[in-house]
Structure 1
Amino acid sequence: MSDIVLSSAVRENLLSLKSTAKLQSTTQNRLATGLKVNSALDNPNSFFTAAGLNDRASDLANLLDNMGQAVQTIRAADDGLTGITRLVESAKAIANQALQTQSEYQRKTYTEQYNDILEQIEDLARDSDYKGKNLLAGLGNELQVIFNEDSTSNLTVDPVDFTDTTLSTGLALSDLENGAGATSSFTVASGSTTLDLSTLQASSNLSDLPDWENGDIVTVSDGVNPPTTFTVGTGAGQIETVQDYVNALNDVQGIKASFDETDDEITITSGLNPAYTLSISKDTSGGGTATNGGIGAGSTTLATSVMTAAATLTSSGGFEVDDVLYITDGNGFEAASIEIDDDTTVSDLVSLIKSIKGLDANFASGSISMVGDVSWAITSSNDDFNIDDFATTDGTVNLTATDSGFKDDTDIERVLQAINSALDELRSAAGELGTSLSTVEIRTSFTEELINTLEVGAGALTIADMNEEGANMLALQTRQQLSSTALSLANQAEQSVLSLFG
Structure 2
Amino acid sequence: MPDIVLSSAVRDNLLSLKQTADLQSVTQTRLATGLKVNTALDNPNSFFTAQSLNDRASDLSNLLDNMGQAVQTIRAADKGITSITKLVESAKAIANQALQTSSEYERKQFTSQYNDLLEQIEDMARDSSYKGKNLLAGAGNELEVIFNEDSTSNLTVEPVDFTDTSLDDGLNLDDLDPGGTGTSSFNLFGGSTTLAMTGLQASSNLTDLGDWANGDQVTITDSSGTTTLTVGTDITTVQDYVDAVNDLNGAHATFDEATDSISITSGLDNAISISKDNAGGGTATDGSATGGTTSTLSVSALSSTSTLVVSGGFQAGDTITITDGNGFEPASLEIDAETTVSDLVTFIDNVKGLDASFSGGSISLIGEVSFNIDSSNSDFNRTTLASTVGTVGLSAAASEFKTDTDIDRTLQAINAALDELRSAARAMGTSLSTVEVRTDFTQNLINTLEVGAGELTIADMNEEGANMLALQTRQQLSSTALSLANQADQSVLSLFG
Q: Provide the residue aligned with 1:111 in structure 2.
A: 111
Counterparts of 2:265 and 2:104, CA distance in 1: 37
Equivalences for residues 17-166 of structure 1 within 5 A:
17-166=17-166
Any idea what the Cα deviations from partners look like across 1:401-434, whole Å, max 9, x if unmatched?
A: 1212222221122112212221221222122112
The alignment status of 1:251 with 2:247, answered yes or no, reads: yes
Q: Which runs of 5+ in 2 are unaligned?
A: none
Counterparts of 1:279 and 1:497, CA distance in 2: 173
Counterparts of 2:471 and 2:266, CA distance in 1: 135
Q: Provide the residue aligned with 1:314 in structure 2.
A: 309
Q: Provide the residue aligned with 2:474 in structure 1.
A: 479
Q: State the AA in 2 paired with 1:295.
A: A
Q: Provide the residue aligned with 2:236 in structure 1.
A: 240
Query: Which secondary structure does the structure 1 equivalent of 2:385 belong to?
Result: coil
Counterparts of 1:186 and 1:262, CA distance in 2: 36
Decide which moves more: 35-44 or 400-409: 400-409
The alignment status of 1:469 with 2:464, answered yes or no, reads: yes
Q: Provide the residue aligned with 1:270 in structure 2.
A: 266
Give 1:283's match in structure 2, choosing from 263, 274, 277.
277
Q: State the AA in 1 paired with 2:192.
A: S
Counterparts of 2:305 and 2:17, CA distance in 1: 132
Equivalences for residues 324-343 of structure 1 within 5 A:
324-343=319-338
Displaced runs of 4 or more, over 6 A: none
Any idea what the Cα deviations from partners look like across 1:365-384, whole Å, max 9, x if unmatched?
A: 11111122221111000110
CA drift of 1:8 comes to 4.2
TM-score by length of 1: 0.94
Give 1:303's match in structure 2, choosing from 298, 305, 322.
298
Q: Provide the residue aligned with 1:457 in structure 2.
A: 452
Counterparts of 2:400 and 2:391, CA distance in 1: 26
The alignment status of 1:376 with 2:371, answered yes or no, reads: yes
Counterparts of 1:43 and 1:57, CA distance in 2: 21
Counterparts of 1:301 and 1:495, CA distance in 2: 168
Q: State the AA in 2 paired with 1:452.
A: N
Q: Is the 8 A contact 2:223 2:384 kept in 1?
A: no
Q: State the AA in 2 paired with 1:232.
A: V
Q: Is the 8 A contact 1:103 1:329 kept in 2?
A: yes
Q: Is the 8 A contact 1:321 1:342 kept in 2?
A: yes
Any idea what the Cα deviations from partners look like across 1:325-368, whole Å, max 9, x if unmatched?
A: 00112111212111111111111101111212211111111111
CA drift of 1:461 comes to 0.1
Counterparts of 1:194 and 1:69, CA distance in 2: 94
Decide which moves more: 490-499 or 466-475: 490-499
Q: State the AA in 1 paired with 2:75.
A: R
Aligned-CA RMSD value: 1.9
Q: Is the 8 A contact 2:191 2:266 kept in 1?
A: yes
Q: State the AA in 1 paired with 2:128.
A: S
The alignment status of 1:292 with 2:291, answered yes or no, reads: no
Any idea what the Cα deviations from partners look like across 1:292-341, whole Å, max 9, x if unmatched?
A: 22233423222211111111111111111111000112111212111111
Decide which moves more: 41-50 or 484-493: 484-493
CA drift of 1:178 comes to 2.0
Q: State the AA in 2 paired with 1:324.
A: T
Any idea what the Cα deviations from partners look like across 1:202-258, whole Å, max 9, x if unmatched?
A: 111122222323333323222433x3332322x6xx322111221121111110111
Q: Provide the residue aligned with 2:228 in structure 1.
A: 229
Decide which moves more: 55-64 or 431-440: 431-440
The alignment status of 1:435 with 2:430, answered yes or no, reads: yes
Q: Is the 8 A contact 1:221 1:279 kept in 2?
A: yes
Q: Is the 8 A contact 2:199 2:260 kept in 1?
A: yes
Query: Which secondary structure does the structure 2 equivalent of 1:327 belong to?
Result: strand
Aligned identity (percent) is: 72
Counterparts of 2:52 and 2:369, CA distance in 1: 78
Counterparts of 1:223 and 1:175, CA distance in 2: 49
Q: Provide the residue aligned with 2:208 in structure 1.
A: 208
Query: Which secondary structure does the structure 2 equivalent of 1:176 belong to?
Result: coil
CA drift of 1:493 comes to 4.2
Q: Is the 8 A contact 1:223 1:279 kept in 2?
A: no
Give 1:260's match in structure 2, choosing from 244, 249, 256.
256
CA drift of 1:498 comes to 5.2
Counterparts of 2:115 and 2:125, CA distance in 1: 16
Counterparts of 1:188 and 1:474, CA distance in 2: 121
Give 1:351's match in structure 2, choosing from 346, 371, 379.
346
TM-score by length of 2: 0.95
Q: State the AA in 2 paired with 1:266.
A: I
Q: Is the 8 A contact 2:191 2:267 kept in 1?
A: yes
Q: State the AA in 1 paired with 2:330.
A: A
Q: Which runs of 5+ in 1 are unaligned?
A: none
CA drift of 1:78 comes to 1.9
Any idea what the Cα deviations from partners look like across 1:84-104, whole Å, max 9, x if unmatched?
A: 222222222222222222222
Counterparts of 1:321 and 1:79, CA distance in 2: 65
Q: State the AA in 2 paired with 1:230.
A: L
Give 2:390's match in structure 1, choosing from 392, 395, 401.
395
Counterparts of 2:254 and 2:386, CA distance in 1: 23
Counterparts of 2:240 and 2:229, CA distance in 1: 10
Any idea what the Cα deviations from partners look like across 1:33-86, whole Å, max 9, x if unmatched?
A: 111111111111100000000001111111121111112212222222222222
Any idea what the Cα deviations from partners look like across 1:82-130, whole Å, max 9, x if unmatched?
A: 2222222222222222222222222222221221111111112112211
Q: State the AA in 2 paired with 1:114.
A: Y
Counterparts of 1:22 and 1:54, CA distance in 2: 29
Counterparts of 2:201 and 2:51, CA distance in 1: 130
CA drift of 1:26 comes to 1.6
CA drift of 1:289 comes to 3.2
CA drift of 1:192 comes to 1.0
Counterparts of 2:472 and 2:352, CA distance in 1: 104
Query: Which secondary structure does the structure 2 equivalent of 1:133 belong to?
Result: coil
The alignment status of 1:416 with 2:411, answered yes or no, reads: yes
CA drift of 1:18 comes to 2.8
Counterparts of 1:341 and 1:21, CA distance in 2: 126
Q: Is the 8 A contact 2:285 2:293 kept in 1?
A: yes
Q: Provide the residue aligned with 1:407 in structure 2.
A: 402
